[in-house]
A and B are shown apart, each in its own frame.
Chain A
Amino acid sequence: QVQLQESGPGLVKPSQTLSLTCTVSGGSISSGGHYWSWIRQHPGKGLEWLAYIYYSGSTYYNPSLKSRLTISVDTSKNQFSLNLRSVTVADTAVYYCARTLVMVVGPIGDGWFDPWGQGTLVTVSS
Chain B
Amino acid sequence: EIVLTQSPATLSLSPGERATLSCRASQSVSSSLAWYQQKPGQAPRLLIYDASNRATGIPARFSGSGSGTDFTLTIRSLEPEDFAVYYCQQRSNWQGFTFGPGTKVDIK
Contacts and interface: CB of A to CB of B under 8 A. Distances in A.
A53 B8 CA distance: 34
A102 B91 contact: yes
Interface in B83-108: 87, 89, 91-93, 95-102
B45 A116 contact: yes
Report whether over half of chain A's contact residues are helix, strand or loop; otherwise say mixed.
strand
Contacts, number: 71
A111 interface: yes
B: interface residue count bin: 20 to 34
B99 A48 contact: yes
Interface residues of A, number: 30
Nearest to B101: A46
A113 B38 CA distance: 13
A46 B99 contact: yes
B34 interface: yes
B101 A49 contact: no
B93 A47 contact: no
Interface of B: 28-30, 32, 34, 36, 42-46, 49-50, 55, 87, 89, 91-93, 95-102
**3 nearest A-B residue pairs (beta carbon):** A49-B97, A111-B91, A114-B46
